[in-house]
Chains A and B, each alone.
Chain A
Amino acid sequence: MHAVVLLKQILDWELPPRKFRIDQETKRPPDGLAPTLLGPFEQNALELAIQLKEGGVVDRVTALLAGPQGAADALRKALAVRCDDAAHIVVEAPELHDPSQTAELLLAAIRRLDAPELVLAGRQAGDWDHGQVGHLVAERLRWPVLGLVWQVERNDGRLLAWRSGVSGSEQFAVRLPAVMTVTSHSSLRLRMGNVMDLMAANRKPITTWTPQELGLGPEELAAAGRLELADVWVPEVERHCELIEAEDPAEAVAALLDRLGELKLLERLA
């Protein structure tokens, strides 16, 4: 079975809030604010894809990414952890706010790949945080989809998947072909590629497409548009934390309980 994992390169999500800025002209973080990295949930999806290959559930993994030229780094990383192929839809980042347009681009590329039966996506890209692309791709392919998955095995021609539900873990059987969105899990931390694999990855060819080559010119992309970004802003954070000044734990606990009582925050202890 051929699996496709959808990747996205995003602004370093660990950039502290006090350093985060938005350029009002572009409604985006200014260029060079922080490095861009393979998104955290995309890392989980990639790790799951590789585990499925090692476990014999899939025999081939293609990493597919839409993003600017520099985002090819994420595809090199995917090749270094032994994805078999990589494909890049070269599109400048401002085009990728709208999940419907992103899904349309990815879909056009998926249709050109060799009969994939499983598409893995991160649960949400850590920049715009829509959490829609995997679901839209599934719906447009008319494939079933299961979200927030963290473990998958093969079972009688179907996939057996564990997902995070409202009140705990749930197991579903999913008919193929299918889409799954992947959530973070302790078992899905992306491995590091070794030096030999990294070197080999740098020599591997990456298939590239422009949106036009996928049949999606400006008009087609505009027609796929669903969401207009009207404004983006960074909220003002006021610090009004009252620090309990005490070196000794017993003093600190007493002072905290006093303040909680005065503020009527611990009624039953007041």
Chain B
Amino acid sequence: MIVAATWESGGLGQAGREVLGAAVRLGATLGDDVAFAALGTAAADAAAEAGGYGAARAFALEGDYAASGAEGAIAALAELARELGGRAVLLAADEQGGEIGPRLAERLSGTAVTHATDVEVADGRLLWTRPVFGGKAFAAVEALVEPVVATLRRGAFSSAETMGGAAAVETRQVPVTDGAVEFIGSEAPQTGVALEDAAVIVAGGGGLGSREAFAELEELAGLLGGAVGASLVAVDSGWAAPERQVGLTGKVVSPDLYFAIGISGASQHLAGIGGAKAVVAVNTDPDAPIFTAARLGVVMDWKRFLPVLIDELRRAAP
């Protein structure tokens, strides 16, 4: 059995379709069935939908997971994977997947593979591809001990295709944990379009030089109906919030259009934008690595370029 598990609220989300897609293809190659587990306070709809995407069994693991950090989810998934005899558990490689993967693998006496971008089966062995050295290289790794708990990079695996129908959903409640980690609160969550779902992203880097400069990016993003992203340098400098970071240690995004403004293009940043349909880079340095990832490039100081672009778009706006 291959188990796919994602956080859901309402219908099956994009991360869920990708993780399920990877599970269905892996299951077909290995001759294993797929079980899908939706986690969250309202997980039943997504679980039911998963049946139409190739999951043989569907589970809604309902509960308030935030309350215990990752502990509730780890306990729930460990129980399910043991019961189903899962050979692999697939999760999304986001902040939650990173918390769950290694510990879930440990509790199942298995192996965690993080941030996988591909999996191949050769002679029944699973070879996982993952970025290393900040995205400058890739490694193929094999788990010496099963089950494997793999976190999958967003945008690296194609979505499951719908075959219609729905699965009978088995609903379970999240196990009670010992309270060693207790949720206290969060800062007001981000407003507007989430980076992972944005069709247009306007991202700024070290070249912007200040928090104020990000306000100009907000304006451009607003005109394009997009979201603002940032490089690690910009986030570490305190110019943008950590949840705005795009890259290997931030969000992996796949917009139609990605504006990289004053971003030099460190590998760790490029690792987050491989899924963009087109990158437009604006940078003063023609040798900046960002131009290797860009479809269109403008070698110019953003301070000269951006105000004119914003004016032009404002004029064109209805």
> Which of A136, A164, A173 lies in contact with B243, CB distance below 8 A?
A164
Contact of B291 among A167, A170, A239, A253 (CB under 8 A): A239
Q: How many Å lie between the Cα of A226 and that of B101 in the bound state? A: 14
Please tell me if A130 contacts chain B, counting CB pairs below 8 Å. Answer: yes
Q: Which of A139, A164, A171 contacts B103 (CB 8 A)?
A: A139
Contact string, A36-55, partner B, CB cutoff 8 A, digits 1/0? 00000000000000000000
CB-CB under 8 A from B111, the residues of chain A are 100, 226-227
Closest A residue, CB atoms, query B278? A265
The answer to whether B106 touches A139 (Cβ under 8 A) is: yes
Proximity bits, B122-145, A CB within 8 Å = 1, else 0: 000001001111101111111111
Q: How far is the CA of A165 from the CA of B70 in the complex (A)?
A: 11
- Complex Cα–Cα for A252 and B311 (A): 13
Residue A160 CB within 8 A of the other chain: yes
Q: Which residues of A contact B79 (CB under 8 A)?
A: none
Q: Are B95 and A148 in contact (CB under 8 A)?
A: yes
Pairwise interchain contact A265-B308, C-beta atoms closer than 8 A: no
The 5 closest A-B pairs by CB, nearest first: A186-B238, A144-B180, A135-B102, A132-B102, A226-B111
B187, closest chain A residue (CB):
A169
- Taken residue by residue from 234 to 270, chain A's Cβ proximity to chain B (1 for < 8 Å, 0 otherwise) reads as 1101111111101001101110110110010110110
Q: Is A211 in the interface zone, CB < 8 Å from B?
A: no
In contact, A228 and B256 (Cβ under 8 angstroms):
no
The secondary structure that dominates the B interface is: mixed
A-facing mask of B200-217, CB < 8 A → 1, else 0? 000000000000000000
**Besides A170-B185, A235-B138, A256-B280, 12 new A-B residue pairs in contact (Cβ under 8 A), listed by A number:** A126-B133, A127-B133, A131-B102, A135-B103, A168-B243, A225-B144, A237-B292, A239-B291, A253-B309, A256-B296, A260-B257, A265-B295
> Chain B residues near A186 (CB, 8 Å)?
235-238
A59 to B249, CA, bound (A): 31
| Interface residue from A127, A150, A227 paired with B113 (Cβ < 8 Å) | A227
For this complex, 28 residue pairs linking A to B, each with C-beta atoms less than 8 Å apart, are A29-B133, A99-B102, A124-B249, A129-B131, A132-B114, A135-B103, A140-B106, A148-B98, A150-B242, A165-B95, A168-B243, A170-B183, A171-B183, A184-B249, A226-B105, A226-B144, A226-B145, A227-B143, A232-B138, A243-B299, A244-B296, A249-B300, A249-B304, A249-B305, A253-B309, A256-B280, A263-B296, A265-B278
Instruction: Give the residues in chain A near B163, CB-CB below 8 Å.
Output: none
Contact between chains at B102 and A139 (CB < 8 Å): yes
B181 touches A146 (CB 8 A): yes
Residue B45 CB within 8 A of the other chain: no
Does B165 belong to the interface (CB within 8 Å)?
no
B263 CB–A CB distance under 8 Å: no
Q: Which of A131-176 contact B (CB under 8 A)?
A: 131-132, 135-136, 138-140, 144-148, 150, 160, 164-175
A16-B289, A17-B136, A183-B249 in contact; A253/B295 too (CB < 8 A)? no
Q: Which of B49-90 contact A (CB under 8 A)?
A: 66, 69-71
Chain A nearest CB: distance from B282 CB in Å? Answer: 9
By a CB distance below 8 angstroms, the chain A residues around B137 are 20, 22, 232-235
Chain B positions within 8 Å of A195 at CB level: none
**Interface contact A167-B278, CB-CB below 8 Å:** no
* Given A169-B187, A260-B280, residue A146 in contact with residue B141 (CB < 8 A): no
B186 touches A170 (CB 8 A): yes
Contacts of B237 in A (CB 8 A): 186
Q: CA–CA, A105 to B196, complex, Å?
A: 37
Given contacts A165-B186, A249-B304, A256-B309, A175 and B296 within 8 Å (CB-CB): no
Cβ B132 vs Cβ A128 within 8 A:
yes
Contact bitstring B287-303, A, C-beta under 8 A = 1, else 0: 00101111111111000
Cβ of B46 under 8 Å from chain A: no
Given the known A-B contacts A16-B289, A167-B190, are A172 and B106 also in contact in the complex, defined by CB atoms under 8 Å?
A: no
B140 touching A129, Cβ below 8 Å: no
Complexed CA–CA distance, A238 and B292 (Å): 7
For residue B151, which residue of chain A has the nearest CB? A131
Q: Known contacts A166-B96, A237-B292, A242-B296; is A174 also within 8 Å of B138 by CB?
A: no
A260 touches B145 (CB 8 A): no
Question: Within 8 Å of chain B (Cβ to Cβ): is A13?
Answer: yes
B136 nearest CB across to chain A (Å): 4
Partner of B295 from A136, A173, A250, A263 at Cβ < 8 Å: A263
Known: A135-B99, A167-B194, A243-B299. A123 touches B256 (CB 8 A): no
Contact A230 B292 (CB under 8 A): no
